[in-house]
Amino acid sequence: MELAANSISKSIRGRAILSDVSLCLKSGNIYGFVGKNGSGKTMLFRALSGLMRIDSGSVVWEGKTLHKDFSVLPSLGIIIENAGLYPNFTGAQNLTYLAGLTKRIGKEKIIDALSRVGLDPYDKRLYGKYSLGMKRRLAVAQAIMESPNVIMLDEPTNALDETGVEEIRQIILEEKERGALILLASHNKEDIHLLADELYRVEKGHVVRMEETL
Ligand SMILES: Nc1ncnc2c1ncn2[C@@H]1O[C@H](COP(=O)(O)OP(=O)(O)OP(=O)(O)O)[C@@H](O)[C@H]1O
């Protein structure tokens, strides 16, 4: 399966956030995105997923165009900041609520996703009381729980301890093996080096292919 960006551009209040970005991404690969803070990685993910409208160009998934044939990619798992997790729900309650919006999966898959990221599915603690590492794990669980075709991960190993980093990397590789198309933005050079099949640098809204992985 294929996700293509054709010359997409976006400005916010007169400032170019994405400038003429073209990409052709295929299932079963991990695409790494590196770049300084504020270079546009998060905005790129928002544009490619449908969470943000673009000014010009098109995003095409399997021959169908975003904002024409559908408003958000039809099978998407995404971690971006403010992931819409509620502080007064437990981890399981949060995932149950989100899964209820699409009704694609039941309790079993939710328990499975929580276990895979190393969280106890029956933990009674509220999300608001989670450590940063646990919050990251829950964000990964919500991104993978429906086995989506496209997974966009913004700093998935941020705030995790060494074991956590290893576990999340393993899950990302398993999702790739399953055939998911994965976009990974990370400041962690080792994440990129170990995981990315292709590497892109984002710089002031431009996206440039880098030949070597870091
Ligand atoms: N809601 C918004 N309104 C206006 N400008 C915004 C908005 N959100 C982000 N920007 C701007 O868009 C640019 C790209 O931001 P983006 O969050 O995509 O960077 P990033 O590469 O993900 O950074 P980081 O590594 O810090 O996560 C920045 O200059 C930022 O100031």
Closest Cα to atom 28, ligand 1: which residue?
A: 38
Ligand 1 pocket check for 188: Cβ under 6 Å? no
Q: What is the 3-state secondary structure (H, E, C) of 171-208?
A: HHHHHHHHCCEEEEECCCHHHHHHHCCEEEEEECCEEE
**Residues in contact with 131: Cβ distance below 8 Å, sequence separation at least 6, in sequence order:** none
pLDDT tens for the chain, 214 residues long, are 999 999 999 999 999 999 999 999 999 999 999 999 999 999 999 999 999 999 999 999 999 999 999 999 999 999 977 667 999 999 999 999 999 999 999 999 999 999 999 999 999 999 999 999 999 999 999 999 999 999 999 999 998 999 999 999 999 999 999 999 999 999 999 999 999 999 999 999 999 999 865 5
Residue boundaries of the structural domains of the chain? 1-75+151-214, 85-147
Q: How far is the CA of 12 from the centre of ligand 1 (A)?
A: 10
Q: Which residue's alpha carbon is nearest to atom 6 within ligand 1?
A: 12
Does residue 33 contact residue 202 with C-beta atoms inside 8 Å?
yes
Return the closest-CA partner of residue 67 out of 78, 55, 77, 79: 55
Please tell me if the CB atom of residue 28 comes closer than 6 angstroms to any atom of ligand 1.
Answer: no
Q: Residue holding tokens 């603690």?
A: 125
Q: How far lies 17's CA from each of 32, 41, 42, 55, in Å?
A: 19, 10, 10, 11
CB 138, CB 119: distance < 8 Å: yes
CA distance 38 to 106: 37
Ligand 1 contact, 40 CB (< 6 A): yes
Q: Is 158 in the pocket of ligand 1 (CB under 6 A)?
A: no
Fold assignment, 1-75+151-214: Rossmann fold (3.40.50)
Distance CA 192, CA 31 (A): 9
ipTM, two decimals, is 0.91
For the Cβ of 138 lying below 6 angstroms from any atom of ligand 1, the answer is no
Whose CA is closest to 85, among 149, 136, 42? 136
The response to whether residue 17 sits with its C-beta less than 6 Å from ligand 1 reads yes
